[in-house]
Amino acid sequence: MKVFEKISQLGRGAFGSVLDLVFPRDCIYCESSRKGGGDFLCGLCQREICFLESPYCHCCGIPADISYDFPTENFECALCRKNTFSFDRARSLGPYDAALKKLIHHFKFNKQPGVMKDIAPFMADYFAGQEDSWEEFYVVPVPLFYRRMKARTFDQSFLIAREVARTLGLPLANGLLRRVRDTESQAQMKTKAERAKNIKGAFTVDRPDRTLGMDILLIDDVMTTGATVSEAAKMLKQAGAGQIHVFTLARALPYGNVIVGPSAQTDPVI
């Protein structure tokens, strides 16, 4: 069986769909034999992925039912009323949980960039349902530190950003932001304050001449407290950027100032 799996993995790509019929792989989430669905999730697990939808804080996108008992369409959460974030708004495709979390883990930590093929249709559906317009925006990924990029062999935010740019028909502006300082994995930081301190000074803007007046759709894989995307947005704003909207594939949901959601304890360091 192991040999068949190996052959199946090696052959994926050109002969992927044919090999799936001969050597079907298990769903990475429910581990049952994959029927239908994508390359990594079965059809049932794919259907479990849900989008984060309104009502949410119109600034940071945190779901309203977590923070507020009686949310209205345009409510602003307590953090945003205190101007906590440097970006103008943030949205995520879905909660960092269950099958979506498994896909992202597989993507990042098992080094499987092919997962983007399974994620791309969800992104297309998600953006088709959005009323926001990003005309004139540039898509900018939050960069990894080069040593981490070397260890992982690819930069997940760049791959997500490239897919967003393709989906929305927007230009991709890679290389505006640079990660100048390695940081401890944000997943190891349990509180919002720890995360903000850990990420401070981690980015510089390499091309302030290009950034001036630029509206930016800033892309990362997961948003937890928002410290990373906010720090990146702060540097871009200091370099003269216009509006900064954030999009992440997933949103880990904090409770109080301690992150008890699925992002906290289990993410590996890389």
Contact positions toward Zn ion, by CB under 5 A? 27, 29-30, 42, 45, 57, 59-60, 77, 80
Which is nearer to Zn ion, 36 or 175 (by Cβ)? Answer: 36
CB of 82 to Zn ion, least distance (A): 10
Distance CA 106, CA 176 (A): 28
Specify the amino acid at residue 172.
L
Torsion of CA 76, 82, 83, 88, to 10 degrees: -10
3-state SS assignment for residue 233: helix
Residue 19 structure tokens: 């090999």
CB of 87 to Zn ion, least distance (A): 11
In sequence order, what DSSP letters do the residues of 103-165 get, joined into one string? HHHHHHTTT-GGGHHHHHHHHHHHHHT-----TTEEEEEPPPPHHHHHHHSS-HHHHHHHHHH
Which is nearer to Zn ion, 94 or 143 (by Cβ)? Answer: 94
Q: What is the CA radius of gyration of the chain?
A: 19
Which is nearer to Zn ion, 80 or 176 (by Cβ)? Answer: 80
CB of 74 to Zn ion, least distance (A): 11
CB of 46 to Zn ion, least distance (A): 8
Which is nearer to Zn ion, 97 or 155 (by Cβ)? Answer: 97
Which is nearer to Zn ion, 85 or 138 (by Cβ)? Answer: 85
CB of 220 to Zn ion, least distance (A): 17
Distance CA 30, CA 33 (A): 9
